[in-house]
Structure 1
């Protein structure tokens, strides 16, 4: 017989009251004597079949007996008889265990109305609201719990964890600081506070917190991993590897740590070890998107395009990459559907440089019979909109009707591109209008010296910017060459502004560079572009303009390894760091090559005068 249908069969003894029987039943339950506790409830309900404490206690007994539906029924009856905070909280707890979070929240809120000064209740409701993704309300409940009881460390830590999850690191840090004063023995708390400290660039304090966390509990593999990442950030490679290895000793199949270790190995160009580590990671988590993405990076870097393009599509499952699934109802084109008579939307999915690089495929798509709509960010719209095969160039805000779509970055996969089949490496962006070029010629004045455009830094928000960009001062040895240097650098950083102001030999007309079509027109007036790995280098290569690209020791996958040319851009020459961070050697190599070109130019002019 179901407990919700039972009636007591035993008669109460003596002059026992329902209240006394419930008290005895509760004592039995606390001691683990569930049968005796149930008997007391039955006797109490014989005396008063609507006695709320007995109904509540019987529901609790059912819950302990793993009969949640019966428990909800009994406690629900108790709530209807006498709305007590204790009853509502019990009912909410059971509903929460059943996954009925909204129902649980409603009963918790009822308990709060009955006991508004109960800090524990405010914390409990905060946890429920967090699970319901009602983050702002959850934060307010945690804060109220702390207001009611400033010594209550749990809502401080819970609030910090939620704010950390939301990326509100400065606010989370305040919560963790409060929690740390109340609970100095939580290894997890120090670990989470260290994550926040790193996010707000307080790295020394972050390291101290990681070390405190490890001292409190050396068995947390995540802490060793995070400390390893911190060491890696500052080039402390030996310490980084030691931390990763300690994490793996605790959890040999910890694929996130294996991935991190592989990335460090990749940055050191220890490719065989990186591949082996990623294969170990893939064995632990075969469908992990991060592992597949890192494998793709290695495969593309080493020229294995066949596997690399396919694995690279894992990027769509990585929040850290920042790609957004557009949610189009139209089908994704992967190169396997006929395009004759169809309209296809080709849309930019990564950075400006990526869009420029992969826009080379537009004529190929058009050649399959498609009407091509090219969707781009405004700075490159006018420049790329003239590529052959573009029927319409639009911004993201209002794409017109189309039949199929494909991200630009997926086109190499759609066309099964290999190293020897990269299309249009000689250039594919049309030459800028003559009138616009003349405007730049007039701004620059007489072309009496060899003109060299300079770009020394990329977007500071790029995750690899600290490796690919340099300070303008690092180019000082180059500036002594007999050439006219022209800045193509947009967004000059504070550290470079003063040096640029001192060097009047660098022509700076970048205030007129309103978009990439203007940059292309200026490039048409130059003899050479020298750039770090940024969108301007791609633009020069796509125009077919001479460009020298300066690369870090661990280059982006598209520049491959051990070569000074690029199969993507025939007009490009590559200059690579011989060791990590060694821009001085790169600048020396560029200077020597530039001096050779200048000497050859002088000799040619002398010959022509004879």
Structure 2
């Protein structure tokens, strides 16, 4: 039968092809007013609606066209694209499958099918679909872009980079490919190159919010916080609903010590993505960093409700519970660290000791985390020995010589050693859970470590003579610690303390340029830290001091475990083990805690410590 509207349809299609969409749409409507079930006008008007971002209208028109003629592969493929835009990926996949059934060599349909599979989280199938599309027609830069994205999601960053490069070889002006190249380079740790790629992507398409947002991530990784913040804000200006940009802006504000602004940014991100587990977790961390731990626990609970396997939320929740003194609850969640931290030697979970009767069995206790953690928790090895276990304890190399004299009946081995035979195993920091430790049942003693007498005698000659109180100083911890910027004190802030009458002894290792000279000018004549071979030497000196004043680092644990008077100066938001709002520690009887009243206020804290020195009767008797 002759199509009386064919000339008009031809004219409409010509306008459509030339980009004159309004004219094309007018003619399609004219045909449909005369013949509502005209396949060509329905189908092409649907394609036009799709181009104009009217996905619902497109799906309706193309769906009607398909019911008139179900044998057109293009129609099924375009219906799939409309359904994807409407957030209906399963139906979109079915449409692409019908297109491919009609035309198995339809490369674009295979690429579109891959995109729908990715929407559904079926990553391996997505990669296979892109591979098929490119095998049929290798000159598809958009398919290479999609392939790059799924490879990156599969953790195959080097292959993702190669795919992005192939897309750019096919179309050097493809902004999406340049942006994906930046994402792959970022994953490979090649941050400067990643930044250059994002800059090119933005030059190609300045309005691409995603490129600005990801550029911000790279800048933050390069330590260029102000520029990163500007990139996030540009992304948000371009796309106010870009939840990831809001969330990353919030993370950066938290890192920059701007908690009020960070929390407001997290709230905006959560308004856009309610219940997003990662954002809830990071908001909880920001609350914890601000010392608002009860509120932080509530956010971590919401994150875990949204994603029960969210390890970071479980881990950080445990830290807030511990600092609140809710130890029994805290130890349970503290076990999440085993999934968060990389295993060193491989944990045999089947033989992990959880507190069951252990008498007559060989128990391997292995160290983890920092030197201070090993000092704090090695006390539990004695409890295990008292419970009848044969105990083997592994410790880090700097502690080996000291802890080998810890307990004659406990075998102490090196950090990389694993016993040939053991019946059960437990990480050192899981022992409080195994023993059911609560705030009132922490195993404590005036001292549980001892210095080597021979080393004491050897170091005695290097100490100032008796007369004035001998006070050891540590003002900086390991720079690799995640909270070191808050817990370590700049040396100039410490110097006013040295005006007090005492024999000041530097225990700090790895002195920075100019520190030795500044300390000597302030009256410190004994700088011993860099002469210590390990903690056995440190213990031999500390055991002969009247007081140790230190930031929160391993020497604090060592001095307290030796039973020496130990004053710890703490940041406003302390590590979990020092709890909140108390001057003593249930872990160590000889500790006195000094706390910042305001974040970063070291000068006020040093002044409070000076006043305490003047008032301390035991020190004034020297």
TM-score (norm 2): 0.78
Return closer, same or farther for 1:302/1:131 CA change in 2, 3 Å cut-off: closer
Structure 1 spans left out of the alignment, 5+ residues: 1-24, 42-55, 57-62, 79-83, 606-610
Return closer, same or farther for 1:426/1:215 CA change in 2, 3 Å cut-off: same
Instruction: List aligned pairs for 1:83-102, cutoff 5 A.
Output: 99-100=124-125
User: Does residue 289 in structure 1 map to residue 289 in structure 2?
Assistant: no
Tell me the residue number matched to 1:367: 386
Deviation, structure 1 residue 244: 2.4
Tell me the residue number matched to 2:338: 316
User: Does residue 257 in structure 1 map to residue 279 in structure 2?
Assistant: yes
Structure 2 spans left out of the alignment, 5+ residues: 1-38, 48-61, 78-90
Find the aligned partners of 1:327 and 1:245 in 2 and give their Cα distance.
Answer: 39
Find the aligned partners of 2:243 and 2:110 in 1 and give their Cα distance.
Answer: 39
Return closer, same or farther for 1:521/1:253 CA change in 2, 3 Å cut-off: same
Residue pair 1:28, 1:36 contacting (<8 A) in 2 also: no
Q: 535-544 or 291-300, which moves further after superposition?
A: 291-300
Tell me the residue number matched to 2:94: 66
Find the aligned partners of 2:164 and 2:520 in 1 and give their Cα distance.
Answer: 52
Deviation, structure 1 residue 558: 0.8
Find the aligned partners of 1:543 and 1:302 in 2 and give their Cα distance.
Answer: 27
Tell me the residue number matched to 1:233: 255
Instruction: List aligned pairs for 1:505-544, cutoff 5 A.
Output: 505-544=524-563
Residue pair 1:456, 1:470 contacting (<8 A) in 2 also: yes
User: Does residue 328 in structure 1 map to residue 344 in structure 2?
Assistant: no
Tell me the residue number matched to 1:8: none
Q: 254-263 or 292-301, which moves further after superposition?
A: 254-263
User: Does residue 562 in structure 1 map to residue 598 in structure 2?
Assistant: no
User: Does residue 303 in structure 1 map to residue 325 in structure 2?
Assistant: yes
Tell me the residue number matched to 1:194: 216
User: Does residue 477 in structure 1 map to residue 496 in structure 2?
Assistant: yes
Matching residue within 349, 352, 366 for 1:347: 366
Residue pair 1:451, 1:526 contacting (<8 A) in 2 also: yes
Return closer, same or farther for 1:582/1:27 CA change in 2, 3 Å cut-off: same
Deviation, structure 1 residue 531: 0.4
Return closer, same or farther for 1:268/1:126 CA change in 2, 3 Å cut-off: closer
Tell me the residue number matched to 1:21: none
User: Does residue 416 in structure 1 map to residue 436 in structure 2?
Assistant: yes
Find the aligned partners of 1:89 and 1:302 in 2 and give their Cα distance.
Answer: 53
Return closer, same or farther for 1:408/1:444 CA change in 2, 3 Å cut-off: same
Matching residue within 239, 243, 249 for 1:221: 243
Tell me the residue number matched to 1:390: 410
Find the aligned partners of 1:423 and 1:207 in 2 and give their Cα distance.
Answer: 47
Tell me the residue number matched to 1:246: 268
Return closer, same or farther for 1:75/1:432 CA change in 2, 3 Å cut-off: farther
Residue pair 2:572, 2:598 contacting (<8 A) in 1 also: yes
Matching residue within 165, 179, 189 for 2:201: 179
Residue pair 1:566, 1:573 contacting (<8 A) in 2 also: yes
SS of equivalent to 1:565: coil
Find the aligned partners of 1:92 and 1:475 in 2 and give their Cα distance.
Answer: 61
Residue pair 1:550, 1:574 contacting (<8 A) in 2 also: yes
Matching residue within 390, 403, 427 for 1:407: 427
SS of equivalent to 2:358: coil
Deviations 1:372-403 (A, max 9, x none): 22122212222223322422412225543322
TM-score (norm 1): 0.79
SS of equivalent to 1:387: coil
Deviation, structure 1 residue 213: 1.1
Find the aligned partners of 1:256 and 1:95 in 2 and give their Cα distance.
Answer: 24
Tell me the residue number matched to 2:231: 209
Deviation, structure 1 residue 250: 2.8
User: Does residue 463 in structure 1 map to residue 479 in structure 2?
Assistant: no
SS of equivalent to 1:444: coil
Return closer, same or farther for 1:596/1:28 CA change in 2, 3 Å cut-off: closer
Find the aligned partners of 2:332 and 2:552 in 1 and give their Cα distance.
Answer: 24
Return closer, same or farther for 1:331/1:286 CA change in 2, 3 Å cut-off: closer
Q: 238-247 or 198-207, which moves further after superposition?
A: 238-247
Find the aligned partners of 2:412 and 2:489 in 1 and give their Cα distance.
Answer: 38
Find the aligned partners of 1:221 and 1:93 in 2 and give their Cα distance.
Answer: 22
Q: 203-212 or 307-316, which moves further after superposition?
A: 307-316
Residue pair 2:571, 2:599 contacting (<8 A) in 1 also: yes
Return closer, same or farther for 1:153/1:526 CA change in 2, 3 Å cut-off: same
Query: How much is the aligned-residue C-alpha RMSD, in angstroms?
Result: 3.6
Q: 464-473 or 224-233, which moves further after superposition?
A: 224-233
SS of equivalent to 1:443: coil
Find the aligned partners of 1:264 and 1:131 in 2 and give their Cα distance.
Answer: 27
Find the aligned partners of 1:94 and 1:260 in 2 and give their Cα distance.
Answer: 30
Return closer, same or farther for 1:283/1:215 CA change in 2, 3 Å cut-off: same
User: Does residue 146 in structure 1 map to residue 168 in structure 2?
Assistant: yes
Deviation, structure 1 residue 358: 0.8
Return closer, same or farther for 1:73/1:163 CA change in 2, 3 Å cut-off: same
Q: 143-152 or 203-212, which moves further after superposition?
A: 143-152
Find the aligned partners of 2:574 and 2:473 in 1 and give their Cα distance.
Answer: 19
Find the aligned partners of 1:65 and 1:89 in 2 and give their Cα distance.
Answer: 11
Find the aligned partners of 2:203 and 2:325 in 1 and give their Cα distance.
Answer: 54
Deviations 1:116-154 (A, max 9, x none): x76456545534543554322321332343345331212
Deviation, structure 1 residue 523: 1.1
Tell me the residue number matched to 1:378: 397
Deviation, structure 1 residue 246: 2.2
Return closer, same or farther for 1:258/1:131 CA change in 2, 3 Å cut-off: closer
Instruction: List aligned pairs for 1:31-180, cutoff 5 A.
Output: 66=94, 99-100=124-125, 103-104=128-129, 107=132, 110=135, 115=138, 119-120=141-142, 122-127=144-149, 129-180=151-202
Deviation, structure 1 residue 457: 0.9
Deviations 1:410-432 (A, max 9, x none): 11000000122111332222x22
Return closer, same or farther for 1:40/1:104 CA change in 2, 3 Å cut-off: closer
Aligned length: 549
Find the aligned partners of 1:360 and 1:100 in 2 and give their Cα distance.
Answer: 52
Return closer, same or farther for 1:328/1:466 CA change in 2, 3 Å cut-off: closer
Deviations 1:324-358 (A, max 9, x none): 37433463434343323322221122222111111
